[in-house]
Chain A
Amino acid sequence: MSNDKVGAVLVVGGGISGMQSSLDLADAGFKVYLIDKLPSIGGVMSQLDKTFPTNDCAMCIMAPKLVGTGRHHNIEVISNTEIESIEGEAGNFNVNLVRRPRRINEEKCTGCGVCGAKCPVEAIDEYNWGLTRRGATFIRYPQSVPLKFMIDKEKCIGCGICQEECKAEAVEYDQEEQKFDLNVGSIVLSPGYSMFDPSLKTEYGYGRYKNVVSSMEFERFLSATGPFAGTVMRPSDGDIPEKVAFLQCVGSRDSQAGSEYCSSVCCMFAMKEAIIAQEHSEGLKSHIFFMDLRAFGKEFDDYYTRAQEEHKIKFTRCRVAEVREVPETNNLIIKYVEDGEVKEEEFNMVVLSTGFRPPENVKEFAETLGIDLNKYDFCSTGVFSPLETSREGVYVSGVFNGPKDIPDTVAQASGAAAKASSIISSERGKMITPKEYPPERDVLGEDPRIGVFICHCGINIGGVVNVPDVVEYAKTLPNVEHAEHNLYTCSEDTQKGIKEKIVEHNLNRVIVASCTPRTHEPLFRSTTKEGGLNPYLFEMANIRDQCSWVHMHDADNATKKAKDLVRMAVAKSRLLEPLYKLELNVFQSGLVIGGGLSGMTAALEMAKQGFEVHLVEREKELGGNLRNIYHVLSEKGEDPQKMLKEIIEKVKNDDKIKLHLETTVKSIEGFMGSFTTELSDDTKIEHGVVIVATGGQEYKPTEYLYREDSRVLTQMDLEGKLAKDEIKPNSVVMIQCVGSRIEERPYCSRICCADAIKNALKIKEKNPDAQIIVLYKDIRSYGFREDYYREAADKGVRFIRYDDENKPEVTKEGDDLVVSINDPILGEHIKIKPEYVVLSAATLPQPDNEELAKMLKIPLSKDKFFLEAHMKLRPVDFATEGVFLCGLAHSPKFIDESISQACGAVSRACTILSDEIMELEPTISEIIDENCDGCAYCIDPCPFNALTLIEYMRNGNVKKTVERNEAACKGCGVCMATCPKRGVMVKGFTLDQISAMIGAALEVV
């Protein structure tokens, strides 16, 4: 590895994966270049309507990450860009890139959108999968980051209208392709995926029948920003369908289509679409046709149950043979085989759940980067190295290394960030340049002197609102010293102007009346700061989104309303106070609880990042469940026991890792940045973060004669016996879902299907003639594991389905073990006398999770695993800041998934550990001690446990009051709204400030 390492990382692909990697890296002190070949970041998630299993709105939960990435001072978003070649090695790469011309100057474009609205061209809108049209001058979607338009050269007719219309003079038709290079220490690949083209499955009629659509298209139908504004309509006639069929595994698990793997997410995706469609159109009925229902993720089976019971969605287990159109009605007839019988059913619309494919041009991409692909052209990785490509210093995350859902992607993205930064951890903080600001003027005690800057936004505001009139009006308002209008208040030159005006008029408050604070407040705050004022002395009025754009045909009222909004902003502005970011000291070390694979991985990674870490394990030995794993399903044939030994060696030899064996945690006090923990041996340690990696355990069955007959084993027992050559079975019956997917434990244990297949193949390897029967409910060998399912079937392993009404029975006849089951295909009751019965037992949460949960003030899920902050986008964070989660403690998962999560938890933790001092937003609550009488009404409602009741001596009396923990408070203001005595205020949104706005709104003008 080169000695001159570079503290910068190149992230390729700006979907949710690339954004998460970038944010983690940037927050941990590394410079990030985020490139995307599209004109804006956001990836596929920006096109989703809702997300399972919470049915959260995709855009709502993604937008903060989108905006955060766009405005992060350590992240440079470079759109329209691809890699041409790479030189160098891990730690120091030189990457040559090429940037397609946008034909609109990014510096000048304000994103106002006049060009797009005026463009006479109608081109296919890829964002809506071709279901709508856009101009040749366009933006991918309204919340695009960067919010810059682009001219589509292919479609542009060169009419010149956009150039004429653009008041910012941003149109540059003659922009050329640009080549440039970047020097980075490591690279994270998250180029995403493409979708299977369903027209290749001609039997389903996609492309021929209008009312057969793909699941991605249907997602846009459901979206409020989609082609039909969220109403589900048939493409053929705009009718609202009554019956919609969803066909699963289109282009997945299909050797004809060349993709034998399972796309992992389509079952959940289809259920979500089916539920949301029913929500959007009353009376709509969804029907899902599937082979195995693969709801293997955390709380996914609950979703499945709700889909059936609450939403009454119909499920039929089959493979659909054919879809045929009824020409008169454009309805569709689905032909399928169920229980050996050919059936037909008519629907108004059919949705094809199309599978994932590798990204387009993946072979060239891999060649350019010098990385290996697997046999399906996804990125090749190993079970114990899920984030590493074949090239050192190049890491991977997201669907590019295998189909996966958003939470798994986000955990991986964080994990890849940890990997990418650990090899350059010595360079932390070296490539980032803090912005310099002039000293802040002390305005305390001054009367407010307000400057109001009102934006025309080209013609976006000025075309409707009489801006000069609003300026004149603003001048009449109390404390307004200066008011002016600008063509674009956000343009470079106006920024300069604002700074000058602050000095010239000795202003101490700034107001901009223009667009939305959601996108522009950070910019103007920074301008205010550059003008020598505290950035929180800034306020905004949104006269574009709330006046000119929504009252386009009513100039008078739009102008009147703009005046009102300015008056309201002035009223609040008068009460603004300078606020200062809070600084928190950070103990730059970590505590990892649990010494299994996840915990050891977390400890090692944290040490690689340069931080000291305490690893606490209650057993005598490290290794956890990995101690019982002897082989894995993998092309590379990794040996788990060898890996385990190596990892333990590394942990023991790392002098940054303090190992505490046969030790438990007695108590944990404190909060993010500064925890104090007491261990069972009375050691006290101080640390800034906690990673919970306490693992899980295999269920010891009470059913099927386990414990009564030594020939009844669990998969883990069997694996051990096979590895040690203790047995060589001739006949085995495996029973799946023992203790899982039952009433008291409704969740799926995720790993048992593949484990059964793995052990079946192992038996076959030793004894090809062995008779193996697997009794299952659904085979959930998702992703590339599907290959092994097929292999097992090819090698003669028999898979027989059972359902809850016909569970298998295990009895004894004389000395024989007897398994009886109904064979649904043969339709008869069969009896088998195997040598061994092997139970795929559930993975259980640790029984003492509750204790630790109380200690750390973190919640458990209803299945008693730990519950993360957000199922979708914060899979390894807890709502309690500074505490993270990984491995089986989160939910059952495979080795590679545990490793990804462990690395992900470290990455998140490093965003806190990276600096001795952490800055926090000042807009949090503040106790007004003289008003607070200690009634404590606010304490319980606080969702972040940030408030405590305390007592202190004041003038010889005991005074009760509330103390706010600044590290925990997020400024939601529930306390403020609960307090009957005005004893607590959220800074920046105090009762007086809100009330002043209300008062101003009600003033008679």
Chain B
Amino acid sequence: MEEGAAEGVTQEEEFEPLILAICCNWCSYTGADLAGTSRLQYPHNIRIIRVMCSGMVHPNLVIDALSKGADGVLMCGCHPGDCHYLEGNLKAEKRADALFLMLEDLGIEPERYRLEWVSASEGQRFAELMKDFTDTIKSLGPSPYKMY
């Protein structure tokens, strides 16, 4: 049993997922920058896309990304109350519920999408999130929609 599990791990380690992190400009992207200036090391699998607010991201974009082969999408916004545009982040939160339903229809594991709050001073948290999410995706294995 133990050996089997160990084998599983080796196999998973060979899988390098491709993950998108969509970050709002005001808090989360700034948090990502702070992870950088603080030289916090996190997995290289993340590609960050900067948007002005987590509330501007159309659910179709997320579905598109996941159905075209992204192994995971992580959406980061300001903590509730901190959104630069009052409550864009809360809108993103509501949309997440709808998104999970759509993912179910597509047969995509809900763990492949995650919404998180990262503040401008949470460089550490940003780096940890990146590690954690990458680990989650690694353990899930490649997206069923992966084209290569």
Select the stretch in B1-9, B46-54, B108-116 that faces chain A.
Answer: B46-54
Q: Complex formed: what's the CA distance from A58 to B120 in Å?
A: 9
Closest residue of chain A to B43, judged by CB? A551
**A59 in contact (CB, < 8 A):** yes
Q: Which of A557, A879, A998 contacts B20 (CB 8 A)?
A: A998
Q: Complex formed: what's the CA distance from A601 to B95 in Å?
A: 47
Given the contacts A63-B30, A516-B33, A970-B85, A561 and B44 also touching, CB distance less than 8 Å: yes
**Do A994 and B49 touch (CB < 8 A)?**
yes
**Do B82 and A994 touch (CB < 8 A)?**
no
Given the contacts A59-B120, A997-B49, A552 and B65 also touching, CB distance less than 8 Å: no
| Closest chain A CB from B102 CB (angstroms) | 13
Q: Which of A49, A977, A994 contacts B95 (CB 8 A)?
A: A977
| Closest chain B CB from A288 CB (angstroms) | 24
**Do B85 and A972 touch (CB < 8 A)?**
yes
Q: Complex formed: what's the CA distance from A102 to B49 in Å?
A: 37
Given the contacts A224-B122, A553-B41, A544 and B88 also touching, CB distance less than 8 Å: no
**Do A61 and B44 touch (CB < 8 A)?**
no
Closest residue of chain A to B55, judged by CB? A974
**Do B30 and A60 touch (CB < 8 A)?**
yes
Instruction: List A contacts of B68 (CB < 8 A).
Output: 998-999, 1002
**Do A973 and B51 touch (CB < 8 A)?**
yes
**B56 in contact (CB, < 8 A):** yes
Q: Which of B25, B29, B38, B50 contacts A142 (CB 8 A)?
A: B38
**Do B51 and A49 touch (CB < 8 A)?**
no
- List residues 519-544 of chain A with CB under 8 A from any CB of chain B: 542, 544
**Do A1002 and B70 touch (CB < 8 A)?**
yes
Instruction: List A contacts of B95 (CB < 8 A).
Output: 977
Instruction: List A contacts of B26 (CB < 8 A).
Output: 60, 64
**Do A61 and B82 touch (CB < 8 A)?**
yes
- List residues 940-961 of chain A with CB under 8 A from any CB of chain B: 941, 943-944
Instruction: List B contacts of A56 (CB < 8 A).
Output: 81-82
**Do A518 and B55 touch (CB < 8 A)?**
no
**A254 in contact (CB, < 8 A):** no
**B87 in contact (CB, < 8 A):** yes
| Closest chain A CB from B53 CB (angstroms) | 5
**Do A998 and B82 touch (CB < 8 A)?**
no
| Closest chain A CB from B51 CB (angstroms) | 6
Q: Complex formed: what's the CA distance from A999 to B147 in Å?
A: 13
- List residues 219-235 of chain A with CB under 8 A from any CB of chain B: 223-225, 229-230
**B127 in contact (CB, < 8 A):** yes
Closest residue of chain B to A516, judged by CB? B33
Instruction: List B contacts of A10 (CB < 8 A).
Output: none
Closest residue of chain A to B16, judged by CB? A557
**Do A977 and B59 touch (CB < 8 A)?**
yes
**Do A986 and B52 touch (CB < 8 A)?**
yes
Q: Which of B41, B58, B87, B125 contacts A976 (CB 8 A)?
A: B58
Closest residue of chain A to B57, judged by CB? A977
**Do A57 and B82 touch (CB < 8 A)?**
yes
Given the contacts A225-B121, A542-B48, A551 and B41 also touching, CB distance less than 8 Å: yes
Closest residue of chain B to A558, judged by CB? B44
Q: Complex formed: what's the CA distance from A545 to B41 in Å?
A: 11
Instruction: List B contacts of A977 (CB < 8 A).
Output: 55-59, 91-92, 95
| Closest chain A CB from B77 CB (angstroms) | 11
Given the contacts A225-B123, A568-B47, A1001-B49, A60 and B27 also touching, CB distance less than 8 Å: yes
**A706 in contact (CB, < 8 A):** no
**Do B120 and A63 touch (CB < 8 A)?**
yes
**Do B38 and A1001 touch (CB < 8 A)?**
no
Annotate A964-976 by CB proximity to B: 1 below 8 A, 0 otherwise.
0000001111101
Closest residue of chain A to B40, judged by CB? A550
Q: Complex formed: what's the CA distance from A1001 to B121 in Å?
A: 27
Closest residue of chain B to A971, judged by CB? B52
> What is the size, in residues, of chain A's interface with B at 8 Å between Cβ atoms?
63
**Do B121 and A224 touch (CB < 8 A)?**
yes
**Do A142 and B148 touch (CB < 8 A)?**
no
**Do A973 and B52 touch (CB < 8 A)?**
yes
**A1004 in contact (CB, < 8 A):** yes
Instruction: List A contacts of B39 (CB < 8 A).
Output: 549-550, 552
Q: Complex formed: what's the CA distance from A365 to B121 in Å?
A: 34
Q: Complex formed: what's the CA distance from A59 to B34 in Å?
A: 11
Given the contacts A564-B47, A976-B58, A977-B56, A998 and B70 also touching, CB distance less than 8 Å: yes
**Do B35 and A545 touch (CB < 8 A)?**
yes
Q: Which of B65, B79, B124 contacts A229 (CB 8 A)?
A: B124
| Closest chain A CB from B49 CB (angstroms) | 5
- List residues 90-139 of chain B with CB under 8 A from any CB of chain A: 91-92, 95, 119-125, 127
**A989 in contact (CB, < 8 A):** yes
Instruction: List A contacts of B141 (CB < 8 A).
Output: none
> What is the size, in residues, of chain B's interface with A at 8 Å between Cβ atoms?
61
Q: Which of B55, B58, B64, B120 contacts A60 (CB 8 A)?
A: B120
Instruction: List B contacts of A58 (CB < 8 A).
Output: 121
| Closest chain A CB from B85 CB (angstroms) | 3
**A554 in contact (CB, < 8 A):** yes
Given the contacts A57-B119, A60-B30, A516-B33, A972 and B49 also touching, CB distance less than 8 Å: no
**Do B65 and A1002 touch (CB < 8 A)?**
yes
Given the contacts A59-B121, A224-B125, A998-B64, A544 and B30 also touching, CB distance less than 8 Å: no
Closest residue of chain B to A551, judged by CB? B44
**Do B127 and A550 touch (CB < 8 A)?**
yes
**Do B47 and A565 touch (CB < 8 A)?**
yes
Closest residue of chain B to A548, judged by CB? B36
Instruction: List A contacts of B32 (CB < 8 A).
Output: 545-546
**Do B120 and A995 touch (CB < 8 A)?**
no
| Closest chain A CB from B64 CB (angstroms) | 6
Q: Complex formed: what's the CA distance from A1002 to B69 in Å?
A: 7
Instruction: List B contacts of A971 (CB < 8 A).
Output: 52
**A54 in contact (CB, < 8 A):** yes
**B76 in contact (CB, < 8 A):** no
**A517 in contact (CB, < 8 A):** yes
Q: Complex formed: what's the CA distance from A970 to B53 in Å?
A: 11
Instruction: List B contacts of A995 (CB < 8 A).
Output: 61, 64
**Do B37 and A549 touch (CB < 8 A)?**
yes
**B74 in contact (CB, < 8 A):** no
**A313 in contact (CB, < 8 A):** no
Q: Complex formed: what's the CA distance from A293 to B85 in Å?
A: 34
| Closest chain B CB from A349 CB (angstroms) | 22
Q: Complex formed: what's the CA distance from A100 to B49 in Å?
A: 42
**A991 in contact (CB, < 8 A):** yes
Q: Complex formed: what's the CA distance from A61 to B49 in Å?
A: 22
Q: Complex formed: what's the CA distance from A991 to B57 in Å?
A: 8
Closest residue of chain B to A561, judged by CB? B44
**Do B36 and A1001 touch (CB < 8 A)?**
no
| Closest chain B CB from A255 CB (angstroms) | 39
**Do B53 and A972 touch (CB < 8 A)?**
yes
Closest residue of chain A to B71, judged by CB? A1002
**Do A943 and B56 touch (CB < 8 A)?**
no
Q: Complex formed: what's the CA distance from A997 to B92 in Å?
A: 20
**A759 in contact (CB, < 8 A):** no
Q: Complex formed: what's the CA distance from A551 to B43 in Å?
A: 7
Given the contacts A545-B37, A943-B85, A998-B61, A224 and B53 also touching, CB distance less than 8 Å: no
Q: Complex formed: what's the CA distance from A229 to B127 in Å?
A: 13
Q: Which of A549, A557, A564, A998 contacts B65 (CB 8 A)?
A: A998
Instruction: List A contacts of B148 (CB < 8 A).
Output: 1004
The 8 closest A-B CB pairs, nearest first, are A973-B56, A545-B36, A972-B85, A60-B120, A557-B44, A549-B36, A57-B119, A943-B86
Jot down 6 A-B pairs with beta carbons below 8 A, ordered by A: A58-B121, A64-B84, A142-B34, A973-B51, A991-B60, A998-B65
Please report A residues at the B interface, Cβ cutoff 8 Å.
49, 54-61, 63-64, 113, 142, 223-225, 229-230, 516-518, 542, 544-546, 549-554, 557-558, 560-561, 564-565, 568, 879, 923, 941, 943-944, 970-974, 976-979, 986, 989, 991, 994-995, 997-999, 1001-1002, 1004
Given contacts A64-B26, A224-B34, A923-B52, 17 further A-B contacts (CB under 8 A): A55-B81, A57-B119, A59-B121, A64-B84, A224-B121, A545-B35, A550-B35, A943-B85, A970-B85, A973-B53, A973-B56, A973-B88, A997-B49, A998-B64, A998-B65, A999-B68, A1001-B49
